Amino acid sequence: MRARINRKLFDIYGMDIESHNDEESIEKRETSMWLGCFINEESKMDDEDSYFYTMDEFLDRCENLTSKKRKTAKESRPCKNVAVFIYNLSFEWSFLLPILIQKGFTFKTDIDKDDEYVYNSISTKSVSSVWQCQIKFKKNSGTLLLRDLAKIYGGGLGNVAKAFNLPTQKGEIDYRLNRLHNHIITQEEKEYCFKDTRIIIDILLEELKRGDKDFFKAVSMASYSMLKLLKRGFPRSTKPYRKFRELYPELGEEENQFVRQALSGGICYATKRFQFKEVDAPVLHIDGHQMHPSQIYLKPHPYGFGEYFKGSPTKFFKHINVCHIRVSYDDVKIHSIIKLIGRDFADSVELYVYDFEIPTMRKCYVNLEIEFIDGYCYKSRFLPWREYVHENYVERLKAKENHDEYNKLRFKLLNNAGAYGKFVEKPHTEIFQNFINEDGIIDSQIIPKEFSDSMKMYNAKYTYIPLASIPAWSRVELIETALKFGWENILYFDTDSIFCLYTDETKKILNTQINLNDELGGWAIEEICSRTQFTAPKRYKLEVKEGDETKTTIKAGGINFDFYKEHTHKEEMEFYMKEYGLSRKEALQKIDIPFDEVNIISSEWQVQRAYRVKGGTIIEFQTKCMDVQKKYIEVYKSNT
């Protein structure tokens, strides 16, 4: 299997490893790998060449693959570039980098064809995320490229495999088993590792069949979506990026910093009237269809350079203003501004907002007074790529009708990933040089980046900060829709979801004033809950009665309840595994925790956490606490 990446031809492989994760390794805070699988589409499960047992061995194989030579002059020139796709690259990289450094490899920001034994990477400072690693062995060697497939699809590998209609594993291996001392690797363990890696190969084969050259160019779904978006937005241009920059130019430092202060994401908020209370009354839950893409399709947005002004804005028709204001108010109905959440009243609080947010603010804050300080005025128009998100949405609807799980996933990811994040990306002014610190743990040193063009210091590749108008329009749409039901009926909202009391009045509003069509800008009824409790952003419980059955949903940011289910509902889990042949993970998904069994106000839970140790990464259960945040203590005392 071969594909072109940045104009070079690469042989494509998949790789996965299993590592020591036992009590002894946890206590020593040291780990290493004990089994790895490195394959292409021709590899066989029972072939010993499909496996490796140390990172040294993996690097030796890669060096041989990138150093191939013709045996005779008649042979065609071999492909010496190798791309290895891994699911969650940051894990494998934490095991590989120590060995690279032991072998004398050094970091180099830009690798040239004459360089030897060098590497670089695209990662976060903590190396918790790694998009790509590039390694070069000898002067005449090709390039070894490591890519993270999870940055394209997100979610678990099993879920992605299902979207491709690929078989997933039912069996599991014991991750806690101590294999440190003379462990003989079983055939079952090898098969498990091979099958996981084969899923990566099968996914890449499917993508190759679809003939989409942009797929292998991109290091993430966001960059992949941007490639598609610009081509669709400027179809007659041979250089769509240049056309993009004509409409959405790189802004200077002062303007960039001003407008960036108006940037906020989705608003998430449990209303003061109902927070912490258990509500034993019907509650309506509705979701907006692809909230950010909807605003791309339906609303006008800024373009060009802004015109600075003092005081109040004066241009409104076909213009959008970013305003620096001071606000004062006496009380809150519901919050529409993220920075004001937790403030029941305010006196001269400074904010940066878009002018179209202000009419919604006047409906939400009692006796609101606004003093306009200054701002930037932009011309506005519909986005050139608005039809791109609409076409993706329509294609996803077709995929749903045809039970095409792959395209359901693909078109959803394309819209969500390209919605607005790349337009507000912070400039990359630093290079993170991954290294091994004095404790033997992977980390980064920060190297300041040099710029020949000063504008690059304030703008990443696609950055046009005024397009923070996209999530601003989303917040306005969310709050204005919630207000239709009456602010006193709202329990909770989050980016594209609204929970409100379900009464005769709100039912009538739902049927007469809410767009319930399956289209961009429309809403869908998710469920009618019989019991609910909302205690904090991303933390709530829902109980829904479906005939004779009761279904419970429990959300608590950062907490996965699988460990709890596995220990308190063990018999039920084993029943599903035995009777239906489900994997442990699939069985746990079948188990509903009763509404009253979980305290989402104040409690402790065992959650899985990955952390770096000498030699790599360990995954273990640790205690995570849920408690009342300081800013909500008065509300808690009042409502409980």
Percent of the chain with pLDDT over 70: 98
Give the per-residue pLDDT at 73: 64
- Edge to edge, the sheet with strand 369-381 lists 301-310, 369-381, 319-329, 346-354
State pLDDT tens for residues 474-504: 999 999 999 999 999 999 999 999 999 999 9
Q: What is the DSSP letter of 282?
A: -
Section 202-214 average pLDDT: 89
Burial of 208 (0-12, 13-18, 19+ CB in 10 A): middle
CA 479-480-482 angle, to 5 degrees, is: 60
Domain layout of the chain by residue ranges: 2-219, 430-461
Percent of the chain with pLDDT over 90: 75
- Residue 375, helix vs strand vs coil: strand
* Encoded tokens for 479: 């709050």
Burial of 622 (0-12, 13-18, 19+ CB in 10 A): exposed
H or E element in which residue 100 lies: helix 89-102
Quick one: pLDDT band at residue 406, thresholds 50, 70, 90? confident
Give the per-residue pLDDT at 75: 66
Give the per-residue pLDDT at 579: 84
State pLDDT tens for residues 349-381: 999 999 999 999 999 999 999 999 999 999 999
For the cut 80, the answer to whether the pLDDT of residue 60 exceeds it is: yes
The correct answer on CATH 3.40.50.300 for the domain covering 2-219 is: no
| 601: Cβ contacts below 8 Å, ≥ 6 apart | 276, 535, 626, 627, 628, 636, 640
For the cut 80, the answer to whether the pLDDT of residue 205 exceeds it is: yes
For the cut 70, the answer to whether the pLDDT of residue 186 exceeds it is: yes
Most distant CA pair in the chain, distance: 86
Section 150-172 average pLDDT: 80
* Residue 346 to residue 116: CA distance in whole angstroms: 61
Least confident of 163-172, 369-378, 475-484, 619-628: 163-172
For the cut 70, the answer to whether the pLDDT of residue 604 exceeds it is: yes
Least confident of 422-436, 553-567, 588-602: 553-567
Section 407-411 average pLDDT: 90
- Beta-bridge partners for 106: 118
On average, the pLDDT of the chain sits at 92
Quick one: pLDDT band at residue 94, thresholds 50, 70, 90? very high
* Residue 305 to residue 303: CA distance in whole angstroms: 7
Q: Are strands 331-332 and 365-366 parallel, antiparallel or unpaired?
A: antiparallel
Q: Are 603 and 585 in contact (CB under 8 A)?
A: no
CA 245 to chain centre: 26
Give the per-residue pLDDT at 166: 80
| CA-based torsion, 308, 312, 317, 319: positive or negative | positive
For the cut 90, the answer to whether the pLDDT of residue 614 exceeds it is: yes
Give the per-residue pLDDT at 56: 96
Burial of 204 (0-12, 13-18, 19+ CB in 10 A): buried
Region for residue 391 given its phi and psi (left: phi exceeds 0; alpha: psi -120 to 50; beta: otherwise): alpha
Section 261-281 average pLDDT: 95
For the cut 80, the answer to whether the pLDDT of residue 454 exceeds it is: no
* Residue 151 to residue 166: CA distance in whole angstroms: 19
* Residue 369 to residue 351: CA distance in whole angstroms: 13
Give the per-residue pLDDT at 560: 79
| CA-based torsion, 229, 234, 237, 240: positive or negative | negative
Name residue 202's amino acid.
D
Region for residue 165 given its phi and psi (left: phi exceeds 0; alpha: psi -120 to 50; beta: otherwise): left
Give the per-residue pLDDT at 518: 96
State pLDDT tens for residues 243-259: 999 999 999 999 999 99
Give the per-residue pLDDT at 428: 85
* Encoded tokens for 152: 């394209």
* Residue 575 to residue 585: CA distance in whole angstroms: 13
Quick one: pLDDT band at residue 548, thresholds 50, 70, 90? confident
H or E element in which residue 546 lies: strand 539-546
H or E element in which residue 624 lies: strand 616-626
* Encoded tokens for 178: 């101590």
Section 379-399 average pLDDT: 96
